[in-house]
């Protein structure tokens, strides 16, 4: 499940810088898809809080996320322990505790579908996104929320919903609710703002 969080977080990075939008402008799914798909790369600092039933306290981590279109995603965790996750095309590489493991996403169809759906979002491909999720959007250009609910039964066994919130093309928050009740909340801040 960690890979789901990493892939989503890294993928949505390309939307961390925002042009100005009228606060009351109509915000449709098509407009959001066009806005998200327009940016081809991004870098952001993240703070992630994971709420797990098996842990007495929430688990905190932080680091940097990188996205380069069309299919390169990175999550570099600095705290509490260094870890690097990189998705390039169909390959996922995990570097943790001095060990590097690479797997083919085609061998993990649920994970592959999840990542491909995120790529569809970034590409502004509404059709591909709606093949994997029921998509709903709420709010306006300066305060929007998009909720993704998996339609595939195998994905539903892992993820109940993914909620992305932001302003214009700036993504500020990603929340993943797992089917087992665990959840993750990631807050993003544009790295270029520092």
- State which residues form the domain around 66: 2-193
Looking at residue 52, which CATH number applies to its domain?
2.50.20.10
Q: What is the mean pLDDT of the chain?
A: 81
Pairwise pLDDT comparison (131 vs 6), residue with the higher score: 131
Residue 17 confidence (pLDDT) above 50: no
Average pLDDT over residues 53-71: 89
pLDDT of 121 over the 90 cut? no
Give the pLDDT confidence score for residue 95 in this predicted structure: 96
Q: Is the pLDDT of residue 18 over 50?
A: no
Q: What is the mean pLDDT of residues 136-149?
A: 88
E-strand spans in 52-90? 59-68, 72-79, 83-88
Cβ pair 7, 120 in contact under 8 A = no
In angstroms, what CA-CA distances link 19 with 6, 22, 81, 166, 176? 26, 10, 35, 12, 26
- CA 92, CA 73: separation in Å to the nearest integer? 9
- Stretch 162-184: mean pLDDT: 87
Q: What is the pLDDT of residue 120?
A: 66
Q: Sorting pLDDT into bands at 50, 70 and 90, what band is 127? A: confident
Q: State yes or no: pLDDT of 2 exceeds 70.
A: no
pLDDT for 19 equals 47
Q: What integer pLDDT is reported at residue 168 of this predicted model?
A: 77
Structural domain total, the chain: 1
What is the model's pLDDT at position 15? 44
> Using alpha carbons only, what angle is made at residue 80 by residues 43 and 164, rounded to the nearest 5 degrees?
45
Beta bridge partners of 159: 178
Distance, in Å, from the CA atom of 137 to the CA atom of 164, rounded to the nearest integer, reads 9
Check residue 172 and give its pLDDT. Answer: 85
DSSP state of 62: E
Q: What is the pLDDT of residue 112?
A: 72
Whole-angstrom CA distances from 8 to 23, 139, 193 are 27, 22, 22
pLDDT (average), residues 105-125 = 71
Q: How far apart are CA 163 and CA 38, in angstroms?
A: 20
């Amino acid at each position: 499940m960690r890979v789901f969080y990493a892939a989503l977080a890294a993928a949505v990075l390309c939307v961390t810088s925002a042009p100005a939008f009228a606060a009351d402008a109509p915000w449709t799914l098509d407009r959001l898809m066009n806005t998200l798909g327009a940016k081809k790369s991004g870098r952001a600092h993240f703070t992630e809080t994971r709420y797990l039933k098996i842990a007495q306290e929430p688990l905190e981590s932080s680091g940097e996320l990188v996205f380069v279109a069309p299919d390169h995603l990175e999550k570099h965790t600095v705290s509490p322990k260094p870890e690097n996750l990189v998705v390039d095309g169909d390959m996922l590489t995990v570097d943790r505790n001095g060990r590097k493991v690479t797997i083919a996403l085609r061998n993990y169809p649920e994970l592959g579908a999840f990542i491909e759906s995120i790529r569809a979002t970034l590409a502004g491909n509404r059709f591909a996104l709606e093949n994997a999720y029921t998509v709903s959007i709420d709010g306006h250009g300066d305060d929007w929320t998009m909720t993704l609910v998996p339609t595939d039964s195998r994905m539903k066994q892992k993820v109940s919903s993914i909620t992305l919130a932001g302003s214009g093309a700036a993504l500020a928050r990603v929340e993943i609710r797992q089917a087992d009740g665990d959840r993750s909340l990631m807050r993003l801040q544009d790295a270029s703002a520092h």
